[in-house]
Structure 1
Amino acid sequence: MSPSGERPPLPLGALNTAKRIGLVYMASSVLMEAEMYAMATADVTIHTSRVTLPSVTVDGIDAMMRSPELRAAVELVAQAPLDVLVFGGTSASFLHGTAWDRMLIQHIEEWSGLVGRCTTTSTASIAALDAVGSGPISLVTPYRQEVIDRAERFFGENGHPVLASSGLGITSDHELAEVPLEKVYDLAVETDVPEATTVFISCTNFASVGAIAALEDELGKPVVSAVQASFWYALRLAKADDAAQPGFGRLFGARP
């Protein structure tokens, strides 16, 4: 108690009563937690478990998803009392199409015991695009073409045909995180076409959330990123829609 007898403020909030987002993420990745915390109020905490990604190629991503590490990572983080659990890989969850993504969620629910409270970045991204009223999209990625092809198929079969796409051909997860935010901004502007209703920035180890508001101002349309969509959808599942800071795009004002 203070000398006046008043209780001092709690600047970080009551962290033991915060909504807890569990995250299963690539062991070599570094950006998703930081970007999620940038968007979060003090009423949200993020708890991460990790899995090895050999390379950002179809074979490397597939090897990660078929590794027993994935189940172990889910079971470890789910030992915490979580409100929601997110698998934070975009290409890893769209790799083999929509049925694969849905099956992955079912497995995560089974392994974690969090039935109805698990998602993937790909499922969250489709929900986010739907929430902002998106139709056709422009797709911005750091991937090589074989992964872009899988992305285009996934978004197309979920009602968001890709009218234009770009990639940087990166296969190293460390290199993904080193792409400057300014380059991501420029790539989005260069990739977008007028006929696209929304710009989608894929990959959870690719800087994005700091550019979303500026891109929306520049392009005059919604911009959705993989990390932004994952965080937004996690808040929905946790019934904590108001636990986001302002300034991170139209998505946070959207209601599905």
Structure 2
Amino acid sequence: MTALGFLYPGHSAEDDYPRIEQLLGGDIRVDVVHTDIGVDAHRVDALLRMGSAERLAAGVEELRMAGADSVVWACTSGSFVYGWDGAHEQIRALARAAGLPASSTSFAFVHAAREIGVRRVAVGATYPEDVAQLFREFLVAGGLEVASVTPSGVVTAAEVGMWTRAEVLALASAADRADAEAVLLPDTALHTVAWIPALEDALGKPVLTANQVSAWEALRLADRRVNAPTLGALFTKEPVIQA
């Protein structure tokens, strides 16, 4: 049994994770511990507090006691808002506190893009413009080219968590660009897991979403590979051999 541990801020789209567990099947267990979201706002000050070492450390003991093999801070904005170097320090502190391999959703996006061999991406963000541009900067620091960023201006995770399938499809379609090799949908508050095949069919290219890449990253840290076509191209393509 491989146990994947996730620290998830508040309550919005956490029901994506039991669905992921079902789709992975076999001997994979998914454990989710909720962290204190504080002020629910896609504002830089609120996001920095949400991703603080103290708030993350408060949840790791439960995951460790549950026997987690890896831990992922399942939050995109609460990691990239620290910048590339600051986000590295965030997960180093998390790994020390947990005594486990650790990462975050922001790094998961970069690693997942490399895994499927894409370099140029388009971003459909739920965030306001200023926060969405910080994600662009993070991706560029990770070696990706960003064709475009389409912000939605949504302030709270609670609102994002209520988006429908049609709204998610509309966001992905609006974000897509002909020269983008994949479309990225950050925000773990956004339900996407049930709709990844539909998203990829509609766009004709890989779609990477926050909860999907978080699960893949946790598996990567645990040295597991699972073929799960219903979780999209990321879970079916052979890894790209880096030169």
The CA deviation at 1:99 is 0.8
Q: Does 1:233 align with 2:217?
A: yes
Q: Indicate the residue corresponding to 2:42 in structure 1.
A: 56
Equivalent residue in structure 2 for 1:112, among 74, 98, 111: 98
Percent of aligned pairs with the same residue? 28
Q: Indicate the residue corresponding to 1:157 in structure 2.
A: 141
Q: Counterpart of 2:82 in structure 1: which amino acid?
A: H
The CA deviation at 1:207 is 1.6
Q: Counterpart of 2:108 in structure 1: which amino acid?
A: A
Q: Does 1:193 align with 2:173?
A: no
Unaligned runs of 5+ in 2: none
Give TM-score scaled by structure 1 length: 0.86
Counterpart Cα distance in 2 of 1:36 and 1:88? 13
| 4+ runs deviating over 4 angstroms | none
Aligned length: 236
Counterpart Cα distance in 2 of 1:25 and 1:214? 25
Q: Indicate the residue corresponding to 1:24 in structure 2.
A: 7
Q: Counterpart of 1:209 in structure 2: which amino acid?
A: V
Counterpart Cα distance in 2 of 1:193 and 1:69? 37
Contact map agreement 1:125 1:229 (CA 8 A) in 2: yes
Counterpart Cα distance in 2 of 1:214 and 1:66? 35
The CA deviation at 1:189 is 1.0
* Worse-superposed segment, 65-74 or 146-155: 65-74
* Worse-superposed segment, 18-27 or 39-48: 39-48
1:103-143 Cα deviation digits (max 9, x unpaired): 111101110111xx211111111110011111121101111
The CA deviation at 1:161 is 2.3
Contact map agreement 2:121 2:144 (CA 8 A) in 1: yes
Residues 126-141 of structure 1: pairs in structure 2 closer than 5 A: 126-141=110-125
Q: Indicate the residue corresponding to 1:4 in structure 2.
A: none
The CA deviation at 1:77 is 2.2
SS of the counterpart of 1:247?
A: helix
Equivalent residue in structure 2 for 1:93, among 57, 79, 83: 79
* Worse-superposed segment, 69-78 or 179-188: 69-78
The CA deviation at 1:252 is 0.9
The CA deviation at 1:153 is 0.5
The CA deviation at 1:70 is 2.0
Q: Counterpart of 2:42 in structure 1: which amino acid?
A: V
Q: Indicate the residue corresponding to 1:14 in structure 2.
A: none
Give TM-score scaled by structure 2 length: 0.90
Q: Counterpart of 1:85 in structure 2: which amino acid?
A: V
1:10-43 Cα deviation digits (max 9, x unpaired): xxxxxxxx21111111123333424433532142
SS of the counterpart of 1:174?
A: helix
Equivalent residue in structure 1 for 2:89, among 103, 126, 139: 103
Contact map agreement 2:228 2:235 (CA 8 A) in 1: no
